[in-house]
Structure 1
Amino acid sequence: MKRTERNRTLLIAASVVVSLATAPGLALAAPADCPAPVPNHIPEPPPGTLNVGTIKTLLRDYHDKYYNDDLAAVFDAARKLVEQRASQSKRPALVLDIDETSLTNWPNLAADDFGFVAGGSCDVLPAGPCGFNRWILKSSAEAIEPARKLFEAAKASGVAVIFITGRPDSQRDATIINLDHAGYDGWTELRTRPDRDNFPTVQAYKTAERIKVEAEGYTIIANAGDQMSDIDGEHGGCTFKVPNPFYFIP
């Protein structure tokens, strides 16, 4: 998901509330024969008046204690489905988002204290500020390991892996380098978003891209992303919501 489009204010509590509202489990099934939601450990917002400092503490605690386990659970569910459906579909394909799905931007998030700094340098990590655009151009984001395992399982099962990201075309080269450095070797397609287009929402853009994928003759059997805008809409097969209470993109 392209974070430059997200609503990013200091009211991080809103992100947590939205995440809770959309995340009783990580896997949201579209067709009736898709897996049931997977439970997660995203924290409940504290009672009373929300405090930004308290919410940040909750987010860091969740990241350090539960986040990796929750990631593993959802990607394991996706892997099982992909391996099961691979031989049942014509030209099966797995669609993956990139940011907070295939690659982690945690160093950038932590350095900016959950804020969003678009411009500026990113030269003093782990200290901040770290400009997000410069962070992307560094091509140093690490793989979310359970996602990479799903990626490898899909390839081994003969499933095409297609990345559909909100990152713009101007960041395409840096994204390719980063995917390679992070161990994503042998993907089928990378679909980046034009720097200027007429889509009103991320969801509309990604749905249109999935339609193009199917027009190429692929059958999308699974689609994983950390934002509802990654997976909402048609032409997604079984959808898997990756946990991300850290930011929200409508």
Structure 2
Amino acid sequence: MTNTDSGLLPAQPFNEQDRDAVYRAIMTRRDVRGEFLPDPIPDEVLARILVAAHHAPSVGFMQPWTFTLVRDKAVKGRVHQAFEKANGEAALMFPEEKQSTYRSLKLEGIVESPVNICVTCDRQRAGKVVIGRTHIPIMDLYSSVCAVQNLWLAARAEGLGVGWVSILDQNELRAALDIPRTIIPVAYLCLGYVAGFHDRPELEKAGWLPRLPLDSLIRQNGWSGRPDEDFLSTVRQGQAAMAQAHSPAG
């Protein structure tokens, strides 16, 4: 019996070109705020991106996500007003020495991007008891985030930028989009063609926070365990090589 006869797909790795394309999408994906172009997104491109998002893994195969497309200027305006209010409140939460830097950052592209997408989670879609959610109840929210990541990587492969606007009061976002109270807004995304992608994340370039070395974030056989130095050396080399090979300038 072949794998096809048994309902299994071949398990061979991708060829080098296809594999590198996946890694390039991951390594050059950026949170876009200020580089959006007004060019419309063709329906077939947007459809492909939504199909990719819909094929994310989900707990109990419940597929809890819904994708609300926002193109109307008035609706965008309401969401932008909610952002402006939340952003003003957020600035005051940081230490005084960081507030001026925070206010100088552009943290959304709601009005400039041609399409906004609100990804939500319907926690009741598959009933009260869901396979895999019995002991970690928020697995459905994690599943919706997986859909966001699929969407983001597919958009990058299509030459589109995505910006996640997380500085929003959920109740005000619900009101702006008429979202039922039982539905959880997970991500408000700005989507569109861009003038270009930054070579590094903007917050890293602005000196807000540095990229952490991966080898410092790996444990083995428990929180206090650490892999051997040969493996950690390989990780450091791999991190450097991936950054070099798949950077926008690479």
Q: TM class, shorter-chain normalised?
A: under 0.3
- For normalisation by structure 2, the TM-score amounts to 0.23
- For normalisation by structure 1, the TM-score amounts to 0.23
Bigger Cα Rg = 2
